[in-house]
Structure 1
Amino acid sequence: MQFAYLFTKYICLVFLGTKMLWNILTVLSLALFLVHSLDPAFNDDVMGLIVFKAGFTDPKSKLASWTEDDPSPCNWVGINCYPQSNRVSEILLDNFSLSGHIGRSLLRLQFLKVLSLSKNNFTGNINPILSQIPSLMVIDLSHNTLTGSIPDEFFQQCTSLQSVSFANNNLTGQIPQSLTSCSTLQRVNFSSNRLSGPLPSALWSLTSLQNLDVSDNLLEGEIPKAIEGLYSLRAINLHKNKFTGWLPENIGNCVQLKSIDLSDNLLSGGLPESMRRLGFCTNLELRSNLFNGEIPDWIAEMKSLKVLDLSANNLSGRIPTSMGDVSLLKELNLSNNYFVGSLPRSLMKCSDLVILDIGNNFLTGNLPSWTFELGVESISLFGNRFTGHIDYPSISMGASYRSLQVLDLSSNALSGEIPAAIWNISSLQVLNISSNFLSGTIPEAVGKLNATRILDVSHNQLTGSIPNEIGSAVSLRELKLRENHLSGTIPADIANCSALSSLDLSHNNLTGPIPPEIAKLAILEVVDFSFNQFSGSLPKELTNLSHLATFNVSHNHLKGELPVGGFFNTISPSSVVGNPSLCGSVLNHSCPAVHPKPLVLNPNSSDPNHASVTLLGHKRIMLSISSLIAIGAAVFIGLGVVVVSILNLHVRSSMALSAATFTLSGGDDFSHSHGTEANLGKLVMFSGDADFVVGTQALLNKDNELGRGGFGSVYKTELGDGRSVAIKKLNITSLIKSQEDFEREMKSLGSIRHENLVALEGYYWTPSLQLLINEYVSGGSLYKLLHEESSKRSLSWQQRFNIILDTAKGLAYLHQLNIIHYNMKSTNVLIDDGSASTKVGDFALARLLPVLDRYILSSKIQSALGYMAPEFACQTVKITEKCDVYGFGILILEVVTGKRPVEYMEDDVIVLCDMVRGALEEGRIEEYIDGRLQGNFPVEEAIPVVKLGLICASQVPSNRPDMEEVIKILELIRCPSESQEEIE
């Protein structure tokens, strides 16, 4: 058609050349164009979109209006067009549940300006062809499941691209250097992926860049100093990466910056003075880094600040009074630092303040009364050294506190009674005044807290009883009253608190029976009634609590049989210890049989009531028949026991003969088995000799036993080539997977080689006996070195630091392979005397279980008490690598203090993690460093290591770092002058 038009035009011009003919030709041209635009065969937009739709799945039929019969797509769902030309300008298909791949057919849409496909299920790689759409300004592929790296060629041809978002996908690799060639870019969002490597320094050459978000990735290195010249930058978010070093000195040159989020990195140093020029900045978030020094007075010059978060750093000194001049502040978080002195009263000038968190510092003086006059929603002053009473006129007389939702004054030294007005704050959702010296009673007004989710008054000196009105606090999820002097009974009305998931009344003087109404709290997960004076039997209805993860009634006066069923079938004996009259299989204490008194009948009775005599005679006959049946059953059972015993002796004899006669031969081939597979079992050695010097009968000799754990016993022996190996005899035969699955796991674990992991050398299989043949580590376990008198030796600080670092490297390598240890504790950390290295052993043995049931798993690793992450107690929380991080955190504290994770005293239980945290809050942590070091340790290393241990042992999994981050932090903590020292 175009050729015909041009040819006609040419003829007319040549032969006619008149103005009239030219006008006619123009009209003809317009008609031809209209015909062209109305013909679907020539409409590129329709064709491009139909082909695009064919490449993915539309499960909800949201694009049903897209049909190839339409002459124009402008009325289709998710399509916008330019009104003049009817060409497609925008494709907006966010949250349409689409899946599949993004094809190249969109290239036909030559006037497309916006392509937004976020919150769908698109997969595959990012198609670099999309950047070749000449008019494209905005592309949003966020919240999909795209994989692979960001293609370098994507940004090589962009001419008008202003905004690009690939956030919340599964992208890997580095940020491409070609990104810096898109001079028109204003907004870049690559957050929540798995991108790694450094931030390209040339990124700051994008002079139009206004918003940069690469948060929640694996990026590392320093923040390029070239940021100083990026005057257009308004928001930068590098949150949750691995950036190190100091902030660029002249970051204040980015005078347009309004939002800065550099939290959860490894940044250090102080706040650069140039930041005082950031007068437009409203959000400054630097939490969870290694910043040090004081908050400078010039912070007041950042007058636009609304959010200031400097929490979880190493900042110290006093909180400057100039902070009150930042009058627009809404959120102030300075928690988990080393601030001293008092809280400046000048903060009262911050009339817009909503959240005030200064917790876990070293602030002193009386509790500042003016904090209750601010009208804030959240006050957190926990973990300081505040003294005095809470009962101020501002609470009892004023109304400014009535918007208060969170009040946390825990872990201070407050005294006196809890003011009555606090119980009247109906808006309170969290009230935590635990770990103080508060006295008095819990009043009936507690029932007015009908919006409160968490009530914690534990670790105080409260007396009296628990009022019945507690049942009116219907929103309660956690009720913690432990370690007070409460008396009386548990009110039955507590059953009205149907939202309760955690109930802790331990260490009080409560009496009476445990009410069966407790069983109505259907979502209860944690119950602790230990160390009280409860009596009576445990209600059978408790077995209906299907979410129960912890139930502790130890050290009371309970009696009778433990409930049978549900959680109580796997309850730990330690949870019921100290109740001498309790019985049940869990306690290895069978309940006494209850026999009815025998019925004695006199056959010569002359009872005048003939009917009565007849009835008694009938009972006597029935009793005789029952006795005969019982006697017969007893004889039958006795014979059965004899037969089973004979068969059992025969089986044991056969097994002993088999174990004594299996032959083992050597080999080097990983994939080949050795020995026989019929009656003698199957041996596989991954390398080296398989001839045992001591002979097969002595392999499991008790004299060679090294130790016992939840998964089996370990024996030492020697191979024919002179190497010593440790043989682990598994005791989970009844739970173990099939031979095929067992061997697959063994070969997978056998392929793992790392200097800080105990190598698996081979295995032996029969249906009734499984042996793991491990590398022998000569120095024994870390537990023995720290705690057993027979092998105690004084470990230097440098030795301890290297043990912690080596263990971290071993765990990190496992996590790179997506392997969870599950049983991280000091008995599974071995010290090699020869190489002076540390090796982690017994990893991933839980994978041998057919189903990873956390209750079965807990029973197998009960010796890990104190190391086990809270997730093991909650069926609904996923077990991840962060469970290992928790155990590693406890191990850090164990190595530094030389104390066991849990110490049982005569009338108390000391939990290491809680003890160290309390010592750190009180500024006495140096007193808890292992006395065998006798002060020979660098404080500047020891305290950060302790803090790292506490962070790793956080109750919340997401707050724990991953092991790669732990290694980097440890390497930063190590003093340079000592980093090259060798273990003595």
Structure 2
Amino acid sequence: MTRLLVLFCFFSLSPLLVKPLSLSLNDDVLGLIVFKADVQDPTGKLASWDEDDDSACGWAGVKCNSRSNQVVELNLDGFSLSGRLGRGLLQLKSLRKLSLAKNNLTGSINANFARLDNLRILDLSENGLSGSVPDELFQQCGSLKSVSFARNKLSGEIPKSLTRCSSLVSLNLSSNQFSGPLPEGIWSLSAIRVLDLSRNALEDGINESIQRMKNLRALTLKGNRMYGAVPGGIGSCLLLRSIDLSENSFSGSLPDTFSQLTLCNYLDLHGNSFSGEIPESIGEVRALETLDLSDNAFSGKLPTSLGNLVSLKVLNLSGNSLSGPLPESMSSCQSLQVADFSWNSFTGGLPDWIFKGRLQELQTLDLSSNFFTNQIPTDFGDLSGLQFLNLSNNSLTGSVPKGIGMLKKIDVLDLSDNRLNGSIPSEVGGAGSLKELWLQNNELTGNIPASMDKCYSLTTLLLSHNYLSGPIPSSMSRLGNLQIVDLSYNNLSGSLPKQLANLAHLLTFNISHNQLQGQLPLGGFFNTISPSSVSENPSLCGAPVNRSCPGVLPKPIVLNPNSTGDTVSGSFPPPLGRKRIILSISALIAIGAAGMIVIGVIAITVLNLRVQSISASRSAAALTFSGVGDELFSESPGTDANSGKLVMFSTVDPDFSTGAHALLNKDCELGRGGFGAVYRTILRDDHPVAIKKLTVSSLVKSQDDFEREVKKLGKVRHPNIVALEGYYWTPSLQLLISEFVSGGSLYKHLHEASAGDSKSSLSWNDRFNIILGTAKGLAHLHQTNIIHYNIKSSNVLIDSSSGDPKVADFGLARLLPMLDRYVLSSKIQSALGYMAPEFACRTVKITEKCDVYGFGVLVLEIVAGKRPVEYMEDDVVVLCEMVRGSLEDGRVEECVDGELKGNYPAEEAIPVMKLGLICTSQVPSNRPDMAEVVKILELIRCPSEGMEEELV
């Protein structure tokens, strides 16, 4: 305590008082303790920093001079610190190195750091620092050697005083928001070795004075708005090893002086406006390992001197106007691993020296979108290490070579958009690592080879727009990783193998415009397949093609999410003259499970009626509660059937003398859901609570199991989760006592009329905060291994005072026994549109990804202001399908709720809707985790902080 008082005096009183204190106490200790007071240390990395110590030399991250015991280095990289950079560090007069990289520090950079005269290294990279860098910071920087402010949010112009730092060896200001021109004289920093100004908004050119940078090793200006020609003076920087000028607006031709940079091994100029021919002098830069000239305006033939680059590993010349054949001299580039010549105007046949040469290290070869002709060479022997081969969009003829079976490591093979004919060789099965096969838009004939089932890793198979015939081989069902299949516009015939329904990861399966017949496979993806994916097959039958199969009477199950009960009704064919409603909804439970749903609901209904009859006779006695002890989970002494067992998770007096009547009073009922009715009551201390009276009592587990589950739920505490405060147990009556949230449900705010207006108005800012808060609540539940099972707008409550969302009714499905998932889903998923498709499949595990699916639907509901499923007079509109279709048609903004009247930032609303669609992916593994969802939402909101205030 004494030391803390001294600290207060040290930094609060006048300089006259500070001086004598500093003489009697260690300035380094005091300075560091004050620094510690200004930051948060969630991981306890600074626990060893004790204000009672006489020296800081033994503290974590601190290094002292062995003679003077003064702090000379402070290295707190990756300590997870947050907060601001306080004045405490200014007391470290002997500090030579200050490194606070990879933390969460915010605020601005203090100009008083200039008072640290001995500072050599200053590294504040990878934080959240913002504002401009004060010019005073570098007024006295004669000893400064290295400065890094990379990956922050700093803005404004680069301070001119930096040019005074004549001893500066390394300067990294990358990935910030710096703008404007570079300070005059920056190209005259002759001592500098590393200059990284990438990923900013700088607008300037490279000055001829760059020739003074004789010690320059690495120059990185990537991702700015730099313009003009590259001066010939760059050739005087003889020690340059890495040059990255990509993604700017540089223009003109390449200076011949590049030939003098004989030590340079990395040259990236992609994404500029360079023009003219690639000079022969480029071949003199013999140390080059990476040469990227893509996405420019280079033209003419390639220089034969490229063959001199024997160390070259990566060559990217794509996206230019280069022409002529590829020079055979390049066969000398035996170290080449990646070669991309795509999107140019190269002509002639595919060079034999690539396929039969000595490029045994080649892993990626892209010759697509050129004017290559003739046949594909048949010998792939020297390309056994190839992982990516793209020859698409050329004028290649002949057959698909059998040699592709020798590509044992190939991941992607794209031969699409050519004039290839003949059949697909059965040898394709030898490419066991193949993940993507693109053969569409050719003239291929024959059958789909059954040997393709040996490509176990195949995820994408595109064979559309050919002349393939015969059946779809049943062996395709063994390709368990398939996600995207397009066999459309062929002459395929026969019936579809029923085993295809076992392909659990399918996203699309397009077989339209063929001659297929018979019934579509039942189950899995095929229950929700798009009608357009099966159209124009005259003899195909099933619901998606609106054609009944012989002997099959369709009785689709229709669940109405707007109904108040948990009923399920069979929908019979409508009378003649009335339009038939066919549902193709990703959320529908498989028709084959319909019987189980009906049986389960009937069973639950009968059991509930029995429970209600029992509980009615015992309610008066059951609602007599006893006192509470002081333990975390305190229990009342009474456990018999008359008094029941009451457990509260706090020391609040649970006397319900004023609340017992409320449970039997319909006027105090807040609503009813899948688990029972909810009432509002007030405890003796005027503390309002919500009490859920479970109506599934006879289905609840044993008392021990029930209490274990409820106590687990009672430990969950989060600002965006409704707190469970206690419970009451008798064999015939169970109550859950929860925090009362006064603002009502999100469903009410979105869809129900209120007095004076048509619908409760939620601004875009309100909606975004509700989405983000709900995501945080679910992420916390998943972190504690709790699945919600029933996320929907009626289970998200809004705090009337703060507007914050609170997730309710979480984990209640765990209170039920392990029923069949069809019965369970029909009970708790009262709004059909929120239900993840895996509820319809016995073989798929129910995980947190079910909550992610429901959350995705909720996101779309909040943005669009529409229910997940809307029942019209003669149609059914599924929100997910509507938004997805609008996105594909470029009309996604039309899906935003009209109540917002255009008062929303499109740069937030559209990404949020896209995130909702990603969360509703058919395949659970393709949905992000809720923790990832929170990060994505925070990134979406971050660029629009200013707009957020404006909209408020």
Q: What TM-score comes out, normalization by structure 1 length?
A: 0.54
Shift of the 129–43 alpha-carbon distance from structure 1 to 2, 3 Å rule, reads closer
Match of 2:317 in 1: 358
1:53 CA displacement: 8.3
What's 1:486 paired with?
Answer: 444
Q: Distance in 2 between matches of 1:882 and 1:423?
A: 51
Aligned-residue offset at 1:409:
0.9
Q: Taking structure 1 as reference, are residues 177 and 361 closer, same or farther at Cα in structure 2, changes over 3 Å only?
A: same
Q: What secondary structure does 2:396 align onto? A: strand
Alignment of 1:225-264 (within 5 A): 225-264=184-223
Alignment match, 2:162: 203
Q: Identify if the C-alpha distance between structure 1 residues 341 and 61 changes in structure 2 by more than 3 Å, giving closer, same or farther.
A: same
Provide the aligned length of Structure 1 versus Structure 2.
604
Change (3 A) 1:751 1:517: closer
Where do 1:440-839 residues align within 5 Å? 440-594=398-552, 746-748=762-764
**Identity over aligned pairs, percent:** 38
Query: What is the aligned partner in structure 1 of residue 367 from structure 2?
Result: 409
CA distance in 2, matches of 1:274, 1:191: 27
2:368–2:393 Cα contact (<8 Å) kept? yes
1:114 corresponds to 2:137: no
Residue aligning to 2:621: none
**1:848 is matched with which residue?**
865
Match in the other structure for 1:190 = 149
Q: Residue type of the partner of 1:508?
A: N
Q: Tell me the SS of whatever aligns to 1:509.
A: coil
Secondary structure at the aligned position of 1:461 is classed as coil
- CA positional deviation for 1:580: 2.6
The Cα offsets for residues 865-911 of structure 1, whole Å up to 9 and x where unpaired, read as 36499xx9xxxxxxx959969999xxxxxxxxxxxxxxxxxxxxxxx
Cα deviation, residue 78, structure 1: 5.9
Query: Is 1:378–2:346 an aligned residue pair?
Result: no
Paired letter, 1:748: W
State the distance in 2 between where 1:367 and 1:356 align: 13
Residue 536 of structure 2 aligns to a residue whose secondary structure is: coil
Residue pairs, 1:268-287, within 5 angstroms? 268-287=227-246
Bigger mean CA offset, 140-149 vs 352-361: 140-149
Q: What is residue 283 of structure 2 aligned with on the other side?
A: 324
**Which of 882, 892, 898 is 1:859 aligned to?**
882
Q: CA 1:514–1:69 in structure 2 vs 1: closer, same or farther (change >3 Å)?
A: farther
> What's the offset of the Cα at 1:320?
0.9
Q: Which secondary structure state, in structure 2, belongs to the residue aligned with residue 859 of structure 1?
A: helix
How far apart in 1 are the matches of 2:352 and 2:374?
Answer: 12
CA distance in 2, matches of 1:567, 1:742: 40
Cα offset, 1:508, TM superposition: 1.7
Change (3 A) 1:473 1:151: farther
CA contact (8 A) 1:255 1:280 kept: yes
Task: Quote the offset at 1:343 in angstroms.
Answer: 0.3
> Distance between the aligned counterparts of 1:43 and 1:408, measured in 2?
65
Q: 1:292 — aligned with what?
A: 251
1:395 and 1:196, CA in 2 relative to 1: closer, same or farther beyond 3 A? same
Contact 2:767 2:863 in 1 (8 A): no
Q: Which has the larger radius of gyration?
A: 1
Q: Distance in 2 between matches of 1:359 and 1:171?
A: 38
1:512 Cα shift? 2.6
Q: CA RMSD in A?
A: 4.7
Aligned to 1:785: none
Structure 2 distance, partners of 1:61, 1:462, is 65
Q: 1:49 to 1:886 in 2, by over 3 A?
A: closer
Aligned equivalents of 1:887, 1:750: Cα separation in 2: 16
The amino acid of 2:344's aligned partner reads N
Q: Distance in 2 between matches of 1:964 and 1:42?
A: 46
Contact persistence 2:62–2:75 (CA under 8 A): no
Distance 1:465-1:127 versus aligned 2 partners, 3 A rule? farther
Secondary structure of 1:280's aligned partner: coil
* Amino acid paired to 1:445: G
The higher relative CO (CA closer than 8 Å, separation ≥ 6) is in: 2
Secondary structure of 1:450's counterpart equals coil
Worse overlay, 294-303 or 206-215? 294-303
Match of 2:109 in 1: 150
Distance 1:43 1:403, change over 3 A: same
Mapping of residues 922-933 of structure 1, within 5 Å: none
CA shift, 1:371, in A, is 2.2
User: Structure 1: how far apart are the matches of 2:233 and 2:59?
Assistant: 52
CA drift at 1:116: 1.9
CA-CA distance at 1:362 after TM superposition: 1.2
Shift of the 860–748 alpha-carbon distance from structure 1 to 2, 3 Å rule, reads closer
Distance 1:479 1:123 in 2: 48
How far apart are the structure 2 equivalents of 1:258 and 1:315? 23
Equivalent-residue separation in structure 1 for 2:299 and 2:73 (angstroms) = 53
Q: What secondary structure is seen at the aligned counterpart in 2 of 1:420?
A: coil
**Do the aligned partners of residues 359 and 744 (structure 1) sit closer, same or farther apart at CA in structure 2, a change above 3 Å counting?**
farther
Asked whether 1:368 is paired with 2:391, we answer: no
Separation in 2, partners of 1:567, 1:734: 34
1:891-970 → structure 2 map (5 Å cutoff): none
Is the 1:246–1:269 Cα contact (8 Å) retained in structure 2? yes
Q: CA deviation at 1:498?
A: 3.3
Runs of at least 5 residues in structure 1 that lack an aligned partner in the other structure? 1-40, 88-110, 596-635, 646-732, 753-766, 768-821, 823-842, 873-879, 889-956, 966-984
Judge conservation of contact 2:424–2:446 (CA < 8 Å) in 1. yes
Quote how far apart the aligned CAs of 1:545 are.
4.0
Q: Taking structure 1 as reference, are residues 485 and 128 closer, same or farther at Cα in structure 2, changes over 3 Å only?
A: farther
State the alpha-carbon separation in 2 of the partners of residues 483 and 383 from structure 1: 18
Partner deviation per Cα, 1:317-356 (whole Å, 9 max, x = no partner) = 1111111112221111111111111000012222221111
Instruction: Pick closer, same or farther for the CA change 1:274–1:578 going to 2, 3 Å.
Output: same
AA partner of residue 192 (structure 2): L
CA deviations 1:503-534 (Å, max 9, x no partner) are: 21222222233334434444433222221222
Shift of 1:461: 2.1
Q: Aligned pair in 2 of structure 1 residues 882, 379: CA closer, same or farther (>3 Å)?
A: farther
In structure 2, do the counterparts of structure 1 residues 420 and 855 end up closer, same or farther at CA, with 3 Å as the change threshold? Answer: farther
Opposite residue 185 of structure 1, the aligned amino acid is: L
Of 251, 259, 266 in structure 1, the residue corresponding to residue 225 of structure 2 is 266
Residue type of the alignment partner of 2:133: I
Letter of the 1:451 counterpart: K
